[in-house]
Structure 1
Amino acid sequence: MIKVYGSSLCPDCINFEYNLTKNNIEYEYIDIHKNMANLKAFLRLRDTNQAFDNTKANGYVGIPAIVYEDLSVTLDWEKYLVDKGITVIYLDNETSSNCGIDGKGC
C-alpha cells in the first residue's frame, strides 16, 4: 500500500486522492496541514530524499508525494495513475494547479 503526503489545500492532492478513491486503490493519506506531527514527518522525508531536490530548487512544496512500500518516492501522481491504466480525472477541469508561488504546481 502506498503512503501519500498531501494537503487538503492543494488542488493536485485533491485530484490525486479523488482518483485513488474512485479506482479503489488502497492508500494511506497523510494531510500535512492536519497536525504538526504530519508536517514534521513530511519535512523529514523532503529534507532527506533526493526525489525532492528539483522540487526544492524550484520553490515547490513537493506534494502530493507518493511513498512506495520499498520507501522509494515519486512526485508524479499523474504518471502513477496512467501507469496503472487509469484515465486521470481533474475535478477542476484543469490539468495543472496553481498553488505555487509562481502559479505552478505544489
Structure 2
Amino acid sequence: MKVTVIGSHLCEDTRNALEVLKSKGVEIEFFNISESLDSLKKYLSYRETEDMYKKVRENGGIGIPLLILEDGTKTFDINEIVK
C-alpha cells in the first residue's frame, strides 16, 4: 500500500502519522509544506477546494496531515488507514 502524506515536520500530528505508517511498512510519498512551495501549492489546492476542509476553514485550522490513499480516498484520520 502507498499513502501520500501532505503535512509538515513542524506538525506533531504529521510526524506521528509518518511514524505509524513507517512502522506498518506502508510506502509513503511525503509532501512537506514547510520546505517546498510546490508542496504548499499542492496542499492549498486541496484545502481551498475539497469539501472535507469546510469545517477546517471555518475554524481557522490548517488541516494536516492530509492522507491520500492510492484509490484517491482522502482522510485526516490515520486510524482509517491502519485498521
TM-score (norm 1): 0.71
Unaligned runs of 5+ in 1: 84-106
Show structure 1 runs of 4+ deviating over 4 A.
none
Aligned to 2:51: 50
| C-alpha separation in 1, matches of 2:14 and 2:34 | 12
| C-alpha separation in 2, matches of 1:36 and 1:51 | 23
| SS in structure 2 of the partner of residue 24 of structure 1 | coil
| C-alpha separation in 2, matches of 1:7 and 1:69 | 20
Alpha-carbon RMSD: 1.3
| SS in structure 1 of the partner of residue 46 of structure 2 | helix
Q: CA deviation at 1:53?
A: 1.1
Relative distance call for 1:54 and 1:9 in structure 2 (3 A) is same
Given residue 66 of structure 2, which amino acid in structure 1 is its aligned partner?
Answer: A
Q: CA deviation at 1:26?
A: 1.1
Aligned to 2:10: 9
Per-residue CA shift, 1:58-88, capped at 9, x if unaligned? 111010101122323111123433x2xxxxx
**Greater helix proportion:** 2
Which structure has the larger Rg over C-alpha atoms? 1
TM-score (norm 2): 0.88
| C-alpha separation in 2, matches of 1:80 and 1:71 | 13
1:35 matches 2:36: yes
Q: Whose RCO is larger (CA < 8 A, sep 6+)?
A: 2
**Greater strand proportion:** 2
| C-alpha separation in 1, matches of 2:31 and 2:79 | 18
